[in-house]
Amino acid sequence: MKSTLTPDNYVHQLAMETHRQFAFSATTKTEFEAWQRRFRPHLRAMLGLDAIASRGTCNLRPRQMSEETLSDHVREAWIVQTEPGFELPFYILWPLEVMGKLPIVITPHGHGKAGKRTYAGLWDTEEERLSIVEGERDVALQAVRQGYIAIVPDMRGFAGLRRWNEIKIDALSSCRTMQMHALLFGRTLIGERVWDVMRLIDYAETRPEMDTKRIAITGNSGGGTVSLFAAACDPRIAVAVPASYFCTFEASIGSVHHCECNYIPGMMATAEMYDVAGLIAPRPFLAVAGREDPLFPYPAVKQAFERLRHIYEVAEAPPEHCQLYTGEGGHRYYKAGVWPFVREMLTKLE
């Protein structure tokens, strides 16, 4: 007899009862590789990538909108077409001197009206400046100062990619409405954001200055979400560093109030978050977490990391390819753990 199901125990009870179709159970490297071959296309379909692709192919049609030379980097504004009729704004941040091919760091942002501007270190008010400084939110600026080419996209639902109704009232995002609309067509907002990242990689492959064999992705919170799912779906991403996101779905998305854009229909009947992250193995993966993060509880982060480490062991990956960095604070970016890992792993690929 099954236990009583109530609105309060709903997630935890069903999590105990539900068989997850792609829960990792491999015991050999061969079985691990077969599991990845089955799971990755299934995840892509769940995210709606197949539905997006069904609209047909389109040229990127890149257009440079501006260029500004600053004290330690160059900031260019670009637009590309990522699916028929949809144009994605993004920045490219270049070191002042580019000698040969340089590694790329893609930096999807999380929730915030400013979108890519925050990650590029731009602000309009003192309040915004303090938020960037205190949360180390200028992720792309950090990347270019490390000597990498930073690609800094707007994410759908934020900044200029909000709906006009939300822009008029200066709302934080259009996530709820855009997610509900996406679901009507077998798509998800996570999937649309992942698709845009994948198309940016297509664009990078057209640029001789960009080393597309050495691509890292990192972002915080919602940017961590996109970082994890994009790396799971696209093996061209060599290094994945999601921050303030990696946890279990049960303890985070299923237990704490989150924006609607975090939800994927059927996810908990398919896999836990550590299984999704297992699609990145044996490529380098660093989870960055705050010990006091209320949105992604740290005990569950540790639990998820131990499960993921087991997947990496079965995949016969080097131990250093699966790491967890813990910041002594809350829901924010922790750059001290990120850049030494990125440099070590990208250097291996030279």
Chain centroid, CA 323 distance in Å:
17
Residue 92 has pLDDT above 70, yes or no: yes
pLDDT for residue 98: 82
Mean per-residue pLDDT for 247-264? 96
Tokens of 282: 């044996």
- Whether 2 shows a pLDDT value over 90: the answer reads no
What is the average pLDDT across 118-124? 94
Are the C-beta atoms of 302 and 326 separated by less than 8 Å? no
What is the average per-residue pLDDT within 181-198?
A: 98
Confidence of residue 93 (pLDDT cuts 50, 70, 90): very high
- Residue 264 near residue 75 (C-beta atoms within 8 A): no
User: Can you list the domains of the chain with their CATH numbers?
Assistant: 20-345 (3.40.50.1820)
Confidence of residue 234 (pLDDT cuts 50, 70, 90): very high
Render pLDDT for 276-308 as a digit per residue (tens, 0 to 9): 999 999 999 999 999 999 999 999 999 999 999
Residue 97, pLDDT score: 85
Query: What does the alpha-carbon distance between residue 26 and residue 32 come to, in Å, rounded to a whole number?
Result: 5
Residue of 252, 276, 285 lying closest to 43 (CA atoms): 276
| Cβ contact 323:280 at 8 Å | no
Q: What is the pLDDT of residue 1?
A: 60
Average pLDDT over residues 115-119: 95
Mean pLDDT of 107-127: 94
Contact 217/230 with Cβ under 8 angstroms?
yes
Q: Name the CA radius of gyration of the chain, rounded.
A: 19
